[in-house]
Structure 1
Amino acid sequence: MKFTIQRDLLISSLQNVMKAISPRTVIPILTGIKVEASHNGITLTGSNSDISIESFIPAEEEEKVNVEHIEEGSIVLHAKYFPEIIRKLPEDIVSIEVDSSLKTVIRSGKAEFNLNGQDAEEYPLLPKIQTDDTFEMPVNVLKNMIKQTVFAVSTMETRPILTGVNMRLANNRLHFVATDSHRLASREVEIQDAAVQFENVVVPGKSLHELNKILSDTDELIQISVTNNQILFRTKNINFLSRLLDGNYPETDRLIPTHSKTKIKMKTKELLHTIDRASLLAKDEKNNVVRLSTEGNMIEISSNSPEIGKVVENISAISMEGEELKISFSSKYVMDALRAIEYDEITIDFTGAMRPFIIRPVEDDSILQLILPVRTF
């Protein structure tokens, strides 16, 4: 195998596949990166037990040559050393050459590295997804959906199903839901011409988190294919394959209140910054508890720590309807929800001091954040 390549393209491709490599794998060859050269370009692969990532660098793209002097072949190179070497090479062009005994020579400018490779034939073949359950959506919409839900997955392995995001597709509506049983984040979008329906597809939160880092923020389409135990996200130059979580996701629709006793409309950033300040004195409490109470159109946000001190701040609501209210909640959960919303104004619907409350952007009811209060009053 032999090729010459632009170093920056190789670095960016390596960064993508490194997200799938774990030093703790039980299959030793998976601590390496598989490098395949064909006349179309270079494919890099990284894999662990949860995700596999293929990143493709085309030999030519839009009349620009990325890879030259290609002799086809493949090798597995150690993921600890190969990316570091490429990152620190002196010139913009890198040449890589592998001989029959798997010795790999990496050259750039006056630098020359010799690395021992492993036989790519021993690298596990990635499962080929055969399914008609495929649909497409814009990359930037998918990234938004992930950002607005994935933070609410559980980090506790006691209920593994809650460490994932539940995907449902029905009647051309794609729905993402995440919950850790103390809060819930939901986002829904319309999918054009989706000739497929599914429910109870649960993607590990860690997989979606890594996928979100890799994807560029574009309106190009991403193809999503689902089988009973895997999901494949495919763009022009990336294949991202993740296992799905086993088990049934809980029925979350019934958790969402259908009426409210108190409805507040507020500026998102003003509320976020006020809660952020109040939480400074709530850090020692387990849940960083902050209290909210209403009087007329004024909202009082406070927190009190006997050892440290207390903070009280009043802000005015844009509008308020219904009963007066006192409620306590985790400042972290509410701040996470407000950061995910990305709209200037929100409504908060309360159904009582010990009932879940809902935060939605004023302009978009496809986004919903639900939070359980904390008992203090």
Structure 2
Amino acid sequence: MRLTIQREHLAQSVQDVMKAISSRTTIPILSGIKMVAMEQGVTLTGSDSDISIESFIPSEEDGKMIVEVLDPGSIVLPARFFAEIVKKLPQDTVEIEVQASNVVLIRSGKTEFNLNGLDAEEYPRLPQIQEEHVFQLPTDLLKTIIRQTVFAVSMSETRPILTGVNWRVENGELICIATDSHRLALRKAKIEMDHHLSYNVVIPGKSLNELSKILDDTNEAVEIVMTENQVLFKTKHLLFFSRLLDGNYPDTSRLIPTDSQTDVIINAKEFFQAIDRASLLAREGRNNVVKLATLSDNKIEVSSISPEIGKVTEEIQCEAIEGEELKISFSAKYMMDALKALEGTEIKISFTGAMRPFILRPLHTDTMLQLILPVRTY
């Protein structure tokens, strides 16, 4: 294998596939990046057997030459060293040549590295996915959906299924739900797809976080293909495979209250800042709990007490309060996470009593909601 390549393109691709490579892999070859050179361009692959990322660098793009492949071939390069080397090479052009016994010569300007590579034939094959039923999402919408749900997945392995986000496709709609059993995030989006098709899969939260980091902020479409045990996200030059979590995701529809006793309409930013201030003292306690009480004249009081440090109270003017008086306590962190995820200036919070889950949603759309379980203090 022998090629010359533009360093900038190589560095970007290496950075992308590195996101799938684990430093703690038990399979030595998976600590490497597989490089395949063909006439059309160069493909780099990184994998930790849960996530696999394949990045393609075309020979030319927009009339500019990016890669010139002199001898096609393949090799596996030690990922950590290769990534560092590419970052620090002095010139814009890099020559890569595989010599005898898988030794790889990397040359840029007057700098030369010799790296010991591995035989690419030993690298595990990527999953072969039948692309029969594909649906598309604009990249920026996909990133938004991930941002608005993935933070609510469970960090505990006691119920592995809750470490993922449940993606359901039914009646031309995608419904994404994450919960750690103390809170829940839900986001819906219309998709163009055969209405007869339905999917119900659980994608690991870790995979979605890594995917989101790689995707550029564009409105170009990402193709999404689901199978029984894999999901594939496909952009112009990138394939992102993730295994799915085994098991049935709990039916969360029962958790979401349909009625409410107290409704509060409030400016999201003002409310967020008040919770942030109240949590300054709450943070010192074990539980980071903030209390909310409705007052007269469409006001609420947010307060927090830390016996060793002191207390904080703040009144906030709401747009409207309807229903019964209420006193409730909740985690400041969960509330701030939920408010960050919601879009829109005005939000509606629907309470069904001091010990029942409550819901936050933007005022003018029903495509998203956040649910939080209160904490018993009163």
Q: TM-score range by the shorter chain?
A: over 0.9
Quick one: structure 1 residues 49 and 266, their matched pair in 2 at CA, closer, same or farther if it must change by over 3 Å?
same
Give the secondary-structure state (helix, strand or coil) at the position aligned to 1:129: coil
- C-alpha contact (below 8 Å) 1:36/1:73 kept by paired residues: yes
Q: Secondary structure at the match of 2:94?
A: strand
Superimposed CA distance per residue, residues 140-191 of structure 1 (whole angstroms, 9 cap, x where no aligned partner): 1111111100000000000000000001111101000000000000000100
What pairs up with 1:60-99 in 2 under 5 angstroms?
60-99=60-99
Counting matched residue pairs gives 377
4+ long deviations beyond 6 Å: none
Partner of 2:12: 12
Equivalent AA in structure 2 for residue 175 of structure 1: I
Distance 1:357 1:112, change over 3 A: same
Alignment of 1:199-214 (within 5 A): 199-214=199-214
Matched, 1:130 2:130: yes
d(CA) in 2 for partners of 1:342 and 1:168? 22
CA distance in 2, matches of 1:71, 1:211: 32
State the shift of 1:286 in Å. Answer: 3.0
3-state SS of 2:281 partner: coil
- 2: CA distance between counterparts of 1:201 and 1:31? 28
What is the CA–CA distance in structure 2 between the aligned matches of 1:22 and 1:245, rounded to whole Å? 19
Contact 1:133 1:227 in 2 (8 A): no
Secondary structure at the aligned position of 1:333 is classed as helix
Confirm or deny that 1:340 pairs with 2:341: yes
Give the whole-Å Cα distance in 1 for the aligned partners of 2:196 and 2:136: 11
Aligned residues of 1:139 and 1:216 also touching (Cα < 8 A):
yes
Residue in structure 2 matched with residue 265 of structure 1 by the alignment: 265
Partner of 1:376: 377
How far does residue 16 in structure 1 lie from its aligned partner after superposition?
0.7
Q: Provide the residue aligned with 2:301 in structure 1.
A: 300
1:104, distance to aligned residue in structure 2 (A): 0.8
User: Structure 1 stretches of 5 or more lacking a match?
Assistant: none
Map 1:139-158; keep pairs closer than 5 Å: 139-158=139-158
Using the size of structure 2 for normalisation, the TM-score is: 0.98
Q: TM-score, normalised by structure 1?
A: 0.98
* Offset at residue 49 of structure 1 (A): 2.4
Kept in 1, the 8 Å contact 2:134–2:193? The answer is no
Deviation at 1:78, TM superposition (A): 0.4
Q: Deviations over 1:310-341 (max 9, x none)?
A: 11111110111111111000000010010011
8 Å CA contact 1:53, 1:238 repeated in 2: yes
Q: Kindly, what percent of the aligned residue pairs are identical?
A: 62
- Residue 217 of structure 1 corresponds to which residue in structure 2? 217
Gaps of 5+ in 2: none
Counting only pairs closer than 5 Å after superposition, residues 177-256 of structure 1 correspond to structure 2 as 177-194=177-194, 197-256=197-256
Contact 2:262 2:321 in 1 (8 A): yes
Matched residue, 1:57: 57
- In 1, the alpha carbon distance for the partners of 2:336 and 2:251 equals 25
Distance in 2 between the 1:101 and 1:199 partners? 47
Q: Look up the equivalent residue of 2:313 and give its one-letter code.
A: V
**Which letter does structure 1 place at the counterpart of 2:233?**
F
Deviations 1:251-290 (A, max 9, x none): 0011111111111111111111110111010113333100
Amino acid of the structure 1 residue aligned with 2:263 = K
Number of the residue aligned with 1:278: 278
Q: Please name the residue that 2:173 is paired with.
A: 173
Cα 1:70/1:341, change in 2 over 3 Å: farther
**Is contact 1:133-1:196 (8 Å) kept?**
no
- Pairwise CA RMSD: 1.1
Q: Deviations over 1:202-238 (max 9, x none)?
A: 0000000100101111111111111111111111111
1:200 to partner: Cα distance: 2.8
Q: Give the distance between the partners of 1:345 and 1:320, measured in 2 at CA.
A: 13
Deviation at 1:196, TM superposition (A): 5.6
Distance 1:112 1:100 in 2: 16
What SS is found at the alignment partner of 1:178? strand
2-structure distance, mates of 1:88, 1:195:
51
Residue by residue over 1:91-133, the C-alpha shift from the partner in whole angstroms, topping out at 9 and shown as x without a partner, is: 1111111113211111111111111110001101111112523
Q: Is the 8 A contact 1:131 1:227 kept in 2?
A: no
Aligned to 2:350: 349
